[in-house]
């Protein structure tokens, strides 16, 4: 029997507010990213502070970054790592994965991942649709893993202890999110035909 995730790594639902002052900035960033996504083959586009070349022309997303560069929860400060929008359902070849770093999720040194904790605060910025995060409630230190493209993947043939958390749509006064350890929790975003509009904040610390 595979051991479940330690309690300290279990995903935790988070509600932030108020967001009234940021609503127009968020909505402007959404319009901007939609325009770029329409021209993309995968109908998906994002703003990544660590990838300046990719951010050309994203003035509204950059303004959102400026207005909300970080979020502090329980004395821990999480920096903005990405804002991403998709106009359609996205599917990965190997969806359940762990991140190797906080900035891009896949540019970290996988050889040192056991000595680091990569925390992720994922926020649903959509006013219209919920966002679902799937995860495997298993202790990843007890299972066989492999690395590919900067991600860390589960190699089992079945998906034990598969669970989901649902992030409700944004309102004028609240943004809903989930906080979890992305380097210890095998996770994946679960899209439907509506795609997604999310922001990811991150923090790295020694294990």
pLDDT in tens, 166-180: 999 999 889 999 999
Cβ atoms of 187 and 82 within 8 Å: the answer is: no
**Spatial distance between the Cα atoms of 168 and 163, rounded to a whole number of angstroms:** 17
Query: What is the percent of the chain where pLDDT is above 90?
Result: 71
With cut-offs at 50, 70 and 90, classify the pLDDT of residue 93: low
Reported in sequence order, the residue ranges of 69-195 that DSSP labels E, i.e. its strands, are 70-73, 76-86, 97-98, 116-124, 131-136, 145-148, 151-154, 162-167, 175-181, 187-190
With cut-offs at 50, 70 and 90, classify the pLDDT of residue 37: very high
Per-residue pLDDT for 134 more than 90? yes
Q: Helix (H, G, I), strand (E, B), or coil: what is residue 186?
A: coil
User: Model's pTM, two decimal places?
Assistant: 0.94
**What pLDDT sits at residue 149?**
77
**Spatial distance between the Cα atoms of 196 and 72, rounded to a whole number of angstroms:** 24
| Over residues 68-76, mean pLDDT | 95
Cβ atoms of 183 and 118 within 8 Å: the answer is: yes
Q: How is residue 49 annotated by DSSP? A: T
Per-residue pLDDT for 94 more than 60? no
List the domains of the chain with CATH numbers: 7-206 (2.60.120)
With cut-offs at 50, 70 and 90, classify the pLDDT of residue 147: confident
With cut-offs at 50, 70 and 90, classify the pLDDT of residue 124: very high
Closest CA relative to residue 92, chosen from 25, 16, 153, 14: 153
Distances, alpha carbon 101 to alpha carbons 68, 75, 106, in Å: 21, 21, 6
| Over residues 10-20, mean pLDDT | 90
Mean pLDDT (the chain, rounded): 92
With cut-offs at 50, 70 and 90, classify the pLDDT of residue 92: low
With cut-offs at 50, 70 and 90, classify the pLDDT of residue 81: very high
Alpha carbon 193 to its chain's center:
19
Per-residue pLDDT for 76 more than 80? yes
Distances, alpha carbon 142 to alpha carbons 5, 28, 156, in Å: 10, 44, 12
18 preceded by a cis bond (ω within 30 of 0): yes
| Over residues 79-92, mean pLDDT | 92
**Spatial distance between the Cα atoms of 91 and 80, rounded to a whole number of angstroms:** 24
Per the model's pLDDT, the better-predicted residue between 199 and 94 turns out to be 199
């Amino acid at each position: 029997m595979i051991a479940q995730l330690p309690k300290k790594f279990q995903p935790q639902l988070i509600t932030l507010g108020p967001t009234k002052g940021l609503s127009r900035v968020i909505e402007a960033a959404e319009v901007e990213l939609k325009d770029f996504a329409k021209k993309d083959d995968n109908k998906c586009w994002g703003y990544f502070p660590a990838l300046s070349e990719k951010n050309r022309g994203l003035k509204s997303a950059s303004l959102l970054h400026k207005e909300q560069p970080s979020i502090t929860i329980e004395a821990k400060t999480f920096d903005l790592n990405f804002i991403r929008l998709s106009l359609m359902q996205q599917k990965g070849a190997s969806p359940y994965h762990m991140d190797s770093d906080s900035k891009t999720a896949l540019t970290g040194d996988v050889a040192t991942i056991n000595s680091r904790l990569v925390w992720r605060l994922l926020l649903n910025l959509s006013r219209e649709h919920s966002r679902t995060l799937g995860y495997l409630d298993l202790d990843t230190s007890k299972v066989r893993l492999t690395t590919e493209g900067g991600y860390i993947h589960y190699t089992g043939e079945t998906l034990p202890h598969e669970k989901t958390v649902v992030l409700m749509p944004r309102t004028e006064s609240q943004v809903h999110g989930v906080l979890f350890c992305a380097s210890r929790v095998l996770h994946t975003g679960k899209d439907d035909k509506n795609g997604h509009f999310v922001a990811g904040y991150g923090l790295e610390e020694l294990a």
